[in-house]
């Protein structure tokens, strides 16, 4: 029973809904709770596939809309599919383009059958609906395809949220009927904004159709922390325990801990990579700016005790210098470290769940991280 | 006899002055003829030290002037010297800053004791003379320090060239008397512009002082091909055969072949790295633009038959896409390939000299490369 879609729960926390599992895909197994780095344009920014593997990355996220704009799906398809194109042999999850309905709001028109975009690059028109999004993801050959949904903004009024839920349900039904790539799984997305009953209605309707997994969407779009947590709690009850649950675009380590405690299995976020490009290092005890003058003569690694390539070989002073003079290697080295930290953090989470110490880890991490993890602007998803 | 400075000629071509050798430094041996990638700001642009080793790189070039401006020599010194700072355990040659006398001509004033620069970054004043340049290179801890010279522009009148030679000789004498880092070698630089007698006079005067190696400077500054070759031929006769000879800032593969045939042992140039950033691939049969539309659907590697990480794992279509959307990985992958090609080319040159087939290799390379290796603007040294 390890064909694509098999999901085995391997451990469950007694003090929360946290659990560990193994999700099998056409390109290998994924150990949950898992963090998926974002490879919007068929590249996790600044990283090579080898470096991703070394950081312990098991699964990547790719982006339907962006790949459709550049290089074009035909290029990826004709050169052997997204895995071969990127040189990444492991699992890939592709989003459906639905998030761009939100993030590129000024550039699209939503109709009953989908959304018309004008490309952010050259203004060329692209139409995405459930049929197009599934067809693109089939041609990309991703391991997990996301249904095409409508992600409403925050805040949004009840009427808009309601319409968006109905559209999301109807589009999900349409997606379910489309042809898939061999072994490709399809995850549905729960919408409903900040309205608990809409979230429940959406989740229940999707579960009735029977998907391989379920995502919680419409989060990490600027809402306060308690609304995010409410969105998770409102969406989860109808979802079957035996299927993986994915919280889209989240996020911060404290958010991940809270979500794992609610029973979330999968995460993606641009934070570790985007922050690296801004010169911010993630460590066990929080974040700090490597470009700061305090690091000028600092011969210590970016994080003491870290085993990543960056920390094993280079000083803060060097990484700071590279970032300050605009050398590509600076961004590379900090991205390597930040991703390593994120993946190591997820390993700690899985280990704690398996060993029955998740509650302790959570308390300890909160005490360590909260004070040094202020809410950053635009930390969430890649547009 | 393998202490720093030992130079053993291991093979000599019968049809030309080409030779193979092993130069021992405080950080290991260098097999000549050798190509040194340029790490101006303590980084070979886009590459990690691991990738440099994998490409077969044995020795790097670092830059006194640029490191003095940023991060400051005190930073490099206090964090353990240039090798530790860069995470590079192999040999490093540092230039003296003399080239910036030429390349930043608008920003400096030449006096009898050295040159006053205003930094290209913040306008801050820096003074470099023989004492300062040697002191900086000692503090950086490079394996090979270059004397502080004056590199005249091309063209330049005889009087200017004459003065510049006298200054170069007098500064070289001053450099010879300065303290060195443990095991540090010092190479002198032959100037003299396009004037054969000045080149000979300069070389002879430097040889009399007895340096560990000799460089030919004032080349790759915009002069025609025959003037470059003339500069080499005019400079070499006084130089002792048993010491390494370094042609600064050159260059193109055909130029390297010609210079090796004259007896040159060492080269540096930004071409493989700079061209990668512009999207140009080097191959056995010449250069081509990977960004070109012709590569859009091309599933072949950047160079067929190449064993580098890029060619083993990715298609032209992918590298083209990454370059076109501005992903860092695009520049990285093409830099890896171009440096691999350069290092492999040097391996072929050494092998041909050792096996007595250098003449054949030279003829064959010229036939292959000449037509596809037009003279590029600004191909030479990093400013």
Complex ipTM, two decimals?
0.96
Contact check, Cβ <8 Å, A75/B46: no
φ and ψ at B181, to 5 degrees? -70, 160
- B300: contact with A, CB 8 A cutoff: no
- Cβ atoms of A47 and A75 within 8 Å: the answer is no
The question of whether B265 is a catalytic residue gets the answer no
pLDDT tens digits, B138-168: 999 999 999 999 988 899 999 999 999 999 9
Nearest to B328 among A45, A79, A315 (CB): A45
* Interface contact flag, A329 B47, Cβ < 8 Å: yes
Tell me the residues of chain B between 42 and 71 that have a Cβ less than 8 Å away from chain A: 42-43, 45-50, 70-71
Q: How far is A77 from chain B (nearest CA, A)?
A: 9
| Strand-by-strand arrangement of the A28-32 sheet | A7-12, A19-25, A28-32
Calpha distance A332→A338 (Å, rounded): 10
Q: Read off the pLDDT of residues B349-379 as tens digits, 9 standing for 90 and up.
A: 999 999 999 999 999 999 988 777 654 434 4
The confidence band for B380, taking pLDDT boundaries of 50, 70 and 90, is very low
Contact status of A79 with chain B (Cβ, < 8 Å): yes
List the one residue out of A76, A102, A282 whose CA is nearest residue A181: A76
Distance from CA of A287 to the nearest CA of B (A): 23
- The rounded distance, in Å, linking the Cα atoms of A153 and A267 is 20
- What global pTM score does this model have? 0.96
Q: Is cis: bond before B276, omega within 30 of 0?
A: no
Nearest residue to B267 via CA among B23, B61, B39, B83? B61
CB A18 within 8 A of CB A353: yes
Q: What is the DSSP letter of B150?
A: -
Task: Please give chain A's pLDDT, 383 residues, in tens.
Answer: 589 999 999 999 999 999 999 999 999 999 999 999 999 999 999 999 999 999 999 999 999 999 999 999 999 999 999 999 999 999 999 999 888 766 777 778 888 899 888 888 888 888 899 999 999 999 999 999 999 999 888 999 999 999 999 999 999 999 999 999 999 999 999 999 999 999 999 999 999 999 999 999 999 889 999 999 999 999 999 999 999 999 999 989 999 999 999 999 999 999 999 999 999 999 998 999 999 999 999 999 999 999 999 999 999 999 999 999 999 999 999 999 999 999 999 999 999 999 999 999 999 999 988 777 654 434 444 44
Contacts of B290 in chain A (CB under 8 A): none
Please count the other Cβ atoms lying within 10 Å of the Cβ belonging to residue A122: 8
How far apart (Å, rounded) are the C-alpha atoms in residues B64 and B137? Answer: 7
Place of tokens 């920003």: B107
- Any idea which residues of A carry the catalytic annotation? 95, 268
- Site from A53, A71, A119, A294 to mutate, B interface, most B CB atoms within 10 angstroms: A71
- Indicate the residue of B46, B86, B297 with minimum beta-carbon distance to A328: B46
CB B164 within 8 A of CB B150: yes
């Amino acid at each position: 029973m390890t064909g694509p879609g098999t999901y085995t729960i391997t451990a469950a926390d007694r003090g929360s809904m946290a659990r560990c599992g193994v999700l099998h895909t056409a390109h290998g197994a994924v150990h949950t709770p898992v963090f998926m780095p974002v490879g919007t344009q068929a590249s996790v920014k600044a990283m090579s596939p080898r470096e991703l593997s070394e950081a312990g990355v098991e699964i990547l996220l790719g982006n339907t809309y962006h790949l459709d704009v550049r290089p074009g799906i035909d290029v990826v398809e004709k050169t052997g599919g997204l895995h071969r194109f990127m040189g990444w042999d492991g699992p890939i999850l592709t989003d459906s383009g639905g998030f761009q309905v939100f993030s590129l709001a000024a550039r699209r028109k939503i109709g009953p059958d989908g959304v018309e975009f004008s490309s952010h690059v050259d203004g060329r028109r692209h139409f995405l609906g459930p049929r197009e999004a599934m067809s693109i993801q089939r041609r990309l050959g991703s391991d997990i395809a996301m249904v095409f949904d409508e992600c409403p903004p925050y805040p949004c009024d009840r009427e808009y949220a309601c319409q968006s839920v109905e559209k999301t349900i109807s589009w999900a039904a349409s997606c379910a009927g489309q042809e898939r790539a061999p072994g490709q799984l399809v995850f549905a997305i729960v919408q409903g904004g900040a309205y608990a009953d809409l979230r429940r209605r959406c989740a229940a309707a999707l579960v009735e159709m029977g998907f391989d997994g379920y995502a919680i969407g419409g989060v990490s779009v600027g809402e306060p922390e308690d609304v995010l947590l409410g969105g998770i709690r409102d969406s989860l009850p109808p979802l079957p325990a035996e299927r993986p649950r994915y919280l889209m675009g989240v996020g911060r380590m404290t958010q991940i801990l809270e979500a794992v405690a609610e029973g979330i299995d999968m995460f993606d976020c641009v934070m570790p990579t985007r922050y690296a490009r801004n010169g911010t290092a993630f460590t066990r005890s929080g974040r700090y700016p490597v470009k700061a003058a305090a690091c000028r003569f600092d011969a210590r690694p970016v994080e003491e005790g870290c085993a990543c390539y960056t920390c094993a070989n280079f000083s803060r002073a060097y990484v700071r210098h590279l970032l300050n003079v605009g050398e590509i290697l600076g961004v590379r080295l900090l991205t390597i470290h930040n991703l390593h930290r994120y993946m190591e953090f997820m390993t700690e989470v899985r280990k704690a769940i398996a060993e029955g110490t998740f509650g302790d880890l959570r308390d300890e991490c909160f005490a360590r991280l909260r004070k040094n993890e202020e809410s950053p602007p635009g930390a969430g998803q890649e547009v």
